[in-house]
Chains A and B, each alone.
Chain A
Amino acid sequence: MSMGGRRVFVSGVGGELGTLIASLLEDEPWVGELSGIDADPPRRRLHRTAFHRLHPDEHDQIVETITKFNPHVLVHVGVWEPDARAAPHAAALLTDQAATSIIGAAAECPALENVIVRSGIEIYGRARGSLTRPSESAPIRPTSEWGHTVAGIEHTAARVGERVGVSVGAVRLAPVLGPHVPSPLGRLLRMPAVPFSVLADPPFAVIEDRDAARAIVAAARERLSEPVNVVASGAITALQAARRGRRVPIPLVGPEWRVARTISHLFGAPIPDHVSEVFHRGRLADNSRMQELLGIIPETTTTDVVDRLYDWPTVIRQPARIQVA
């Protein structure tokens, strides 16, 4: 079947990852029309993408926009990581609203063939005895709010896909880091002092935003119909990351974590439960099926992503030359 001229709809196109995905999709030869929605405008200029600014609770407009576009492929990246751009409760609410209305609307489109949802390796959970590097076939046992959220997205998409008979692929991303990506983990690691669990200091892996976007585009191109872990190779611990970034490592044992969380929150880097889990239990996943399912492998290793995290310049605020307010 010819893939040319496919209509692709990207939800969450205003976020850093969504914008990156849309810009990569614009260069794909198989993509015909491209459209997207988000509550915020895209972070960079998109040449071919038609953008619709809609809030997740505007169900009617969302349904109308999507059904009118009648996409062949839906790329759903409209998810809110807790404490990335919204507080945990608001993030869960927005993500749920977006998943229900966008995936539900796409289900009404007769041309729909494939749904790709952005998920996370937090879906496996880090309960005691859970696998060090879970593969895609590992049981889904989320132990954090974010893990439950992405499990909910996958569940919704799978249910809709089953009902309307379209294939659904889930791209389970490791924590995404990038120069402009709002990430609670990235923020915490960039603090002048980085707490770490002195008793555990477990390893974790991340993925750079560009590799994550390439993986999602590849999933849409390959018409992924199953979950795939997208994780950069290698791993690092919080202490090692702090050392590489020349930050002051703060060894913590247990009860001090509560104080550390509060202080970190006050300094602008809240520690949601899924990030806290990374520092206590680690977060790795088996990425061996990426090549087979997506035909790509991450270009940047975990260590390089963390090194780049410390190389990215900080935000320099320049006051206006003429104060108008």
Chain B
Amino acid sequence: MSSSLGRVINFPARRGTELATDAMSRATSGINATATRLTAEHMGTVDDWGRDPRLVQVITTLSHFRWSVAVGGEEHLKRRKGALIVVNARRFALAPIFSALAISEAVDRPVRFVGRPDTAPIGSLSRRIGGLLDHPDEVAGALSAGELVVMGAEHDPRLREAGIVDHAHVGAAMLASVPVFPAATSSNPMGRDARVEIGPATRPGRKRRGPLAELELADRVRADIQLLLDEMGELRTGTPLDWLPITAIGGS
């Protein structure tokens, strides 16, 4: 009995050690994966859109100290074709950025995100890590060139609710004849764990001849993101904060 009690008492300490070891190994494996993958890209230059692989490598490595992102559903994305991935975004959560970095690691190709400012130095830094201007023509150009682009839906003040999806960007994807994928993101302002779950491509409903098609597709993408968010379930921090009567702290 005493021995079992001892095990119970010792468990949190062992658990803590395991967690620390696990977190370290996950962070290290992420860093190793980044270092291995990006050596194939040209260093010392930028690509056609101004993305700097060396800087992306550094930022991705540093991002592992902030986020440990689990990516799911990346098998939906084609290896070489362009696609627009729409994620739910919370204010200040940088969801499009961490999603782009994480998906880039998962699919082993550059992923860009929409929403860089056009003012130095933030705009310049964002461009170096794959940022695009929040302009439908800019998005259409990247998608036509076969790039993977992540954009955020509008912020919804309600937790775990997908905001409005900009139909102009969805229209850009339709113009470029690339699929639009919904993706649910979840992150924690106090922890490293984050998740990006990419769903299957959203199919347009009725065949429309006019701009109604992009409006309807944008609505469907929003509904699909909401579905993915609901499937994700409640987020648990593993701390007493979970006991508080607020749902999904930091989620969505």
Partner-B contacts on A (CB < 8 A): 128-135, 138, 197, 199-203, 205, 233-237, 240, 243-244, 282, 284, 286, 288, 302-303
Q: Given A233-B48, A303-B42, are A131 and B121 neighbors across the interface (CB < 8 Å)? A: no
Partner pick for A199 among B50, B124, B127, B145, CB 8 A cutoff: B124
Q: Is residue B137 contacting chain A, with contact meaning CB distance below 8 A?
A: yes
Complex: how many Å from CA A155 to CA B176? 29
In the complex, per-residue mask of B142-154: 1 if CB is within 8 Å of any chain A CB, else 0: 0011000000000
Q: Given A199-B121, A200-B121, A240-B45, are A135 and B50 neighbors across the interface (CB < 8 Å)? A: no
Partner pick for A138 among B120, B137, B145, CB 8 A cutoff: B137
Leading 10 A-B pairs by shortest Cβ distance: A203-B50, A200-B120, A199-B120, A199-B121, A203-B46, A200-B124, A235-B46, A303-B45, A131-B138, A128-B118
Which B75-97 residues have a C-beta within 8 angstroms of A? none
Complex: how many Å from CA A199 to CA B144? 30
Partner pick for A237 among B46, B49, B132, B135, CB 8 A cutoff: B46
Partner pick for A201 among B44, B49, B118, B124, CB 8 A cutoff: B124
In the complex, per-residue mask of B109-131: 1 if CB is within 8 Å of any chain A CB, else 0: 00000000011110010010000
Q: Please report the number of residue pairs spanning A and B whose Cβ atoms sit closer than 8 angstroms.
A: 72
Interface pair B46/A240, CB less than 8 Å apart: yes
Interface pair A132/B124, CB less than 8 Å apart: no
Q: Is residue B70 contacting chain A, with contact meaning CB distance below 8 A?
A: no
A selection of 13 A-B contacts at a CB cut-off of 8 Å is: A129-B133, A132-B50, A132-B132, A132-B141, A199-B121, A200-B124, A203-B50, A205-B48, A235-B46, A244-B44, A284-B48, A286-B141, A303-B45
List the B residue with the shortest CB-CB distance to A241: B45
Complex contacts, A244 vs chain B, CB 8 Å: 44
Complex: how many Å from CA A201 to CA B120? 9
Q: Is residue B22 contacting chain A, with contact meaning CB distance below 8 A?
A: no
Complex contacts, B49 vs chain A, CB 8 Å: 132-133, 235, 284
Give the Cβ gap from A287 to chain B, nearest Cβ, in Å. Answer: 8
Give the Cβ gap from B173 to chain A, nearest Cβ, in Å. Answer: 16
Q: Is residue B47 contacting chain A, with contact meaning CB distance below 8 A?
A: yes
Complex contacts, B42 vs chain A, CB 8 Å: 234, 303
List the A residue with the shortest CB-CB distance to B144: A288
Q: Given A240-B44, A244-B44, are A133 and B141 neighbors across the interface (CB < 8 Å)? A: yes
Complex contacts, A203 vs chain B, CB 8 Å: 46, 50, 127
List the A residue with the shortest CB-CB distance to B135: A131
Interface pair B127/A235, CB less than 8 Å apart: no
Interface pair B48/A234, CB less than 8 Å apart: yes
List the A residue with the shortest CB-CB distance to B134: A129
Of the listed residues A131, A199, A203, the one surrounded by the most CB atoms of chain B closer than 10 A to its CB is: A203
Given contacts A133-B141, A203-B127, A282-B50, 20 further A-B contacts (CB under 8 A): A129-B133, A130-B118, A131-B133, A132-B49, A132-B132, A132-B133, A134-B137, A197-B120, A200-B121, A202-B127, A203-B50, A234-B46, A234-B48, A235-B45, A235-B47, A235-B50, A236-B45, A240-B44, A240-B45, A288-B145
Of the listed residues A233, A235, A243, A244, the one surrounded by the most CB atoms of chain B closer than 10 A to its CB is: A235
